[in-house]
Structure 1
Amino acid sequence: MQYLNLFSTIKLSSLLNTREGETKLGQAVKLADPSLNLTTNLVQAKSNGVRFAIIGIGEDIGPRANLGRGGATDAFDSAMGQFLNLQSNRFLTGEQCLVLGQIDTQDLQLPASANANSLRNNVEQLDQRVIQLLTKVFCAGLEPIVIGGGHNNAYGLLMAAKGAFKRPVAAVNMDPHSDFRPKEGRHSGNGFSYAAASGALGYYHVLGLHELKNSETTLEQLKAFGGHWHSMQQIWVRRELSLETALKSIAKSLNNTQLPVAIELDLDAITNMPSSASTAAGVPLLDALFYVSYIAKHCPAAYLHLAEAAPSCHVSGAPAGHRETGQSISELIYSYISGRINAL
């Protein structure tokens, strides 16, 4: 399958820790059949009761093209190492999940000496791979859960959703940055501005926007588009409104659009999360879980996108980073799936 590295039984076995008398999610999830083409795999998965397709994008060219640091390459493996070892039980059996694999980005990765233009050209190539794969996933009727890579991949996801659903998408993004930077060449800071210009983004709300981490130009562009936001300072610092109040308002606005809803989360929104732009003053993980769960339950969500996690950037080293990001992303995945299964 072009540009897709399937999640194999060998990979699963290397991550799975079984225990007598227990069933882990990894023993119940579905994997793609390498002897079949992608479309056939997706259609068969759907007919066998699968609802969610878990996909990785291991790359850091997007953040580096945005003049940020790298490291967002291995969040998918960290997440699967934790998620697949959770218990399969009455709350989630795992049979609803297809662990599809990772989009191949190896040929697009560039050395540390690469200039911004080269990186941005490769991000454009990655966009096409994301669009091609995710369009097939959406058309098969599955909900993607996309893990890893820079937030540049929001553009490809939104374009794929637009192509599959034949209409724009309403997006909510928990992120200190609006990612609505000028269209100066593709990178992790302008996925949503490019999606807006391409007609894929019909409505946009940023939750947890940091008031001093967005340029005035970016804020003006966001306003001109008709974008909305609740700032991190409004909710978590000045306590002008509660998170629940904000989420109720956001959900109402998203539903009023009558469009498919994209749930976006930049992991650098979460306090001290290893990421390409980690922060000491961010959103508590439990609040991020509540955000994902609430929107998934109350809105017609099309997908979940968890971007920018960079395990190797953990202050205590890569092993600690893999544990923390793996556990955090696993909880976010379950929050989304649980919200969707119990959707109102």
Structure 2
Amino acid sequence: MEKLILFTINELAKITNHRSGEIKFGEKMLTVPKEVDVISFLGICEVQYVLFGIPEDIGIRANNGRPGAASAWSSAIKSIANIQHNKFCKGSQILVLGHLDVSEEMEEVKNLDFNNVADRIKQSQLVEKIDKEVSHIIFNIIKSGKIPIIIGGGHNNAYGNIKGSALAKGKAINAVNFDSRSDFRILEGRHSGNGFSYAYEQGFLKKYFIFGLHENYISKNVLDTIKKTEDRIRYNTFESIKIRKEKEFTFELFQALEFIQNDFYGIEIDLSAIPLIPASFMTLDGFSVDELRKFVSYFGKNKNAAYLHICEGAPELGDEKNDHLVGKLIGYLLTDFIKSNNVLITL
């Protein structure tokens, strides 16, 4: 894992706001000790969850979206370090592994223009390089018996998460995606809009459920593809649940889980589906933060939940005075997942 930059205990201490009479996650979370083999440590450390960041927005640029998601990891880890360690959730359950080194790729993509065909090809090639690194790291985390929680980057990283998980499990996995868009677009070169379609086409994704699609943003081509493969790809729409009230939110959670729960599955969260959250593709309407938290908790409490991925949030695109809020939201989702998943561990 040459492209992995380990998070150190000193870095953790610097971002933790120590306060008398309180214990923060940053005081209890583990890091990989210096000069210790990472893979060996993953196998022997007594934690259940491994935190991993991907500070990039190359896949978003390759999809003609607004850059900014690269800042999510930095914002999130600061918020997570300052969550209270208590009986409801304990920082000692988490290993902060570190983040993927994408500095060279991020520098290279700065001078590329989406509207230039040659540049767009280069963007996709850079995404493919990241795919390989992400899948390798996720493979090693899951192979060690741990559950990865992946933060940051565009939704292009769903591909690496799914591939790495499938290789570690020895078979294709399922996925449930909380998203206003399908990210199941045509195979036109890698970007943030086709991570799931590439994983499906290459045999790493078995079943796929898209939760809360916005009807205004589903192309006819994607709808036709889903119709042909409804035994393996299903969806519901935000409008059918919240606007026309044809479906009920809680029952739709049940339906989605019924579809994927017989195999290991990944939980994918696109923060751009939440209204007014700073993201590459912001929306004015959508499910609430409360409903998103219920979603994460619901799918996290199943024994086949293989990983959690929170992406597309872009703190630097928001209000400068409140640029910590995306990180804070990610912290809530992380603890919701751990709390629900811990029920399985204690049984």
1:320 counterpart = 2:325: no
Aligned residue type for 2:85:
S
CA distance, structure 2, for counterparts of residue 280 and residue 11 of structure 1? 37
Partner SS for 1:130: helix
Given that 2:112 and 2:123 are in contact with CA atoms closer than 8 Å, whether structure 1 keeps it comes out as no
- Map of 1:340 onto structure 2: 341
**Residue in structure 1 matched with residue 116 of structure 2 by the alignment:** none
**Pair 1:238-2:244 in alignment:** yes
1:6–1:34 contact (8 Å) kept in structure 2: no
Rounded to whole Å, the distance in 2 between the matches of 1:252 and 1:299 is 13
- What CA distance in whole angstroms lies between the structure 1 residues aligned with 2:111 and 2:281? 17
Deviation at 1:221, TM superposition (A): 2.0
1:255-296: CA deviations, max 9, x gaps? Answer: 2xx210110010101111111101111211110000000011
**3-state SS in 2 of match to 1:306:** strand
- Larger mean CA deviation between 192-201 and 298-307 belongs to 298-307
1:179 is aligned to 2:189: no
Q: Which amino acid aligns with 2:57?
A: D
With over 3 angstroms needed to count, the CA separation of the structure-2 counterparts of 1:298 and 1:134, relative to structure 1, is closer
Q: SS where residue 172 of structure 1 aligns?
A: strand
Q: Distance in 2 between matches of 1:299 and 1:264?
A: 16
Q: TM-score, normalised by structure 1?
A: 0.95
- What are the residue-to-residue correspondences of 1:161-200 with 2, within 5 Å? 161-200=165-204
Structure 2 unmatched runs, 5+ = 114-118
- Deviation of residue 298 (structure 1)? 3.4
Unmatched 5+ stretches in structure 1: none
Correspondence for 2:304: 300
Q: Which residue does the alignment assign to 1:228?
A: 234
Name the SS for the 1:184 alignment partner: coil
Residue matched to 1:74: 71
- Give distance in 2, aligned partners of 1:137 and 1:79: 20
Q: Structure 2: how far apart are the matches of 1:81 and 1:69? A: 23
| 2:24 paired with 1:24 | yes
Q: Distance in 1 between matches of 2:312 and 2:226?
A: 21
SS at match of 2:69: coil
CA distance in 1, matches of 2:225, 2:11: 44
Could you tell me whether the CA contact under 8 Å between 1:149 and 1:307 is conserved in 2?
yes
1:94 corresponds in structure 2 to: 91
Q: Does the aligned pair in 2 maintain the 1:268–1:277 contact within 8 Å?
A: yes
- Separation (CA, whole Å) in 2 of partners of 1:141 and 1:25: 22
* Whole-Å separation in 2 of the counterparts to 1:135 and 1:168: 13
Q: Offset at 1:299? A: 5.0
* Structure 2 letter corresponding to 1:68: G
Tell me if 1:147 matches 2:151. yes
In the alignment, which residue of structure 2 is the partner of 1:218?
Answer: 222
Are positions 1:202 and 2:206 aligned together? yes
1:167 and 1:259 in contact (8 A); partners too: no
- 8 Å contact 1:183–1:193 — kept in the other structure? yes
User: Which residue number corresponds to residue 261 of structure 1?
Assistant: 265
Code of the aligned partner of 2:98: G
Superposition deviation, residue 233 in structure 1:
0.4
Q: Does 1:108 align with 2:108?
A: no
Displacement of 1:112: 4.6
Deviates more, 1:324-333 or 1:110-119: 110-119
CA contact (8 A) 2:112 2:120 kept: no
Aligned partners of 1:225, 1:41: CA distance in 2, in Å? 41
The question of whether the paired residues in 2 share the 8 Å contact of 1:293 and 1:335 is answered with yes
Instruction: Give the match's secondary structure for 1:55.
Output: strand
Q: Runs ≥4 in structure 1, deviation > 6 angstroms? A: none
Match of 1:65 among 58, 62, 65: 62
**CA-atom RMSD, angstroms?**
1.3
Aligned-pair CA distance for 1:248 = 1.1
TM-score normalised over the length of structure 2: 0.94
The 3-state SS of whatever aligns with 2:50 is strand
Q: Is the 8 A contact 1:176 1:210 kept in 2?
A: yes
Counterpart of 2:212 in 1: which secondary structure?
Answer: strand
Distance 1:291 1:76 in 2: 22
Task: Give the conservation status (yes or no) of the 8 Å contact 1:67–1:116.
Answer: no
The answer to whether 1:84 aligns with 2:84 is no
C-alpha deviation, 1:327, in angstroms: 1.0
Q: Secondary structure at the match of 1:338?
A: helix
Matched-pair contact (CA < 8 Å) for 2:176–2:210: yes
Q: 1:4 is matched by which residue type in structure 2? A: L
Contact preservation (8 Å) 1:180, 1:221: no
